[in-house]
């Protein structure tokens, strides 16, 4: 009888632990997605700065064609998510909520682009820090905003490259490809933003 009661209590404890972990992940996704939306709209968009990867491409489409950034990010992420669905199913399940919420917050927080009046250097530093905290928080709880984060996780898993370094490499390649259309000043300060994002992401993961 004692053993049976102990087994029941153990199962209850494990169940509660699982519920608490899921709750932590849910909070991480919500807060992380919100931070990414704030960093993008409040600090990058006013100066036409870009992040790298999928978000960077979505921002370029926003600047030149007026497309909604979040919706563009969602559409552009479809190929990566199709790959994850077939070959990295755990990554798909851990990132799909982050992608949807990040896309939502990016479009919902669009009015923030008119709130702050900071220099391009200050915006690149603060924006990079806030976005890095958002991405790092999600990665810390084994989830992400999808797109570049998911691609970086896949690369990190299949190679010895640190995930933060993988994000920097991917993002830099995207920005380098867009340098001719954005101009050298935007290119340089966008690189500053990407480095800050990578550093903060790495620090957030180290503190786990």
CA dist 89 and 76 (Å) reads 19
Between the CA of residue 15 and those of 2, 6, 27, what are the distances in Å? 20, 14, 18
| Main-chain dihedrals φ then ψ at residue 51, nearest 5 degrees | -85, -175
Quick check: 18 pLDDT over 80? Answer: no
Give the per-residue pLDDT at 21.
60
CA angle 178, 85, 77 (to 5 degrees): 20
CA dist 122 and 102 (Å) reads 23
Residues 70 and 106: beta-carbon distance below 8 Å:
yes
CA dist 55 and 64 (Å) reads 14
CA dist 190 and 47 (Å) reads 10
Residue owning tokens 């926003």: 62
What would the pLDDT profile of 155-184 be if each residue is shown by its tens digit?
Answer: 777 777 777 677 777 777 777 777 777 788
Residue owning tokens 């810390």: 140
Q: What integer is the mean pLDDT of 87-116?
A: 85
What would the pLDDT profile of 55-70 be if each residue is shown by its tens digit?
Answer: 888 998 898 888 999 9
DSSP3 helix / strand / coil % (the chain, rounded to 5) = 85, 0, 15
- Residue 170 C-beta-side C-alpha neighbours within 13 Å: 26
Give the per-residue pLDDT at 83.
77
CA dist 135 and 201 (Å) reads 6
| Greatest alpha-carbon span in the chain | 75
Q: By percentage, how much of the chain surpasses pLDDT 90?
A: 29
């Amino acid at each position: 009888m004692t053993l049976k009661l102990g087994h029941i209590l153990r199962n209850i404890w494990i169940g509660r632990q699982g519920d608490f972990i899921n709750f932590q992940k849910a909070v991480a996704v919500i807060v992380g997605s919100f931070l990414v939306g704030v960093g993008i709209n409040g600090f990058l968009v006013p100066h036409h700065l870009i992040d790298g990867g999928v978000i960077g491409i979505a921002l370029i489409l926003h600047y030149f064609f007026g497309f909604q950034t979040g919706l563009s990010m969602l559409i552009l992420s479809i190929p990566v998510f199709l790959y994850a669905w077939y070959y990295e199913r755990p990554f798909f399940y851990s990132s799909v909520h982050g992608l949807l919420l990040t896309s939502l917050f990016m479009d919902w927080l669009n009015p923030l682009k008119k709130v702050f009046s900071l220099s391009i250097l200050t915006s690149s530093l603060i924006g990079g820090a806030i976005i890095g905290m958002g991405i790092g928080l999600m990665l810390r709880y084994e989830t992400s905003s999808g797109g570049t984060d998911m691609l970086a996780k896949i690369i990190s898993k299949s190679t010895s490259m640190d995930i933060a370094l993988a994000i920097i490499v991917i993002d830099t390649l995207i920005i380098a490809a867009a340098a001719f259309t954005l101009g050298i000043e935007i290119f340089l300060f966008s690189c500053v933003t990407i480095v800050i994002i990578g550093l903060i992401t790495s620090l957030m993961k180290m503190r786990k």
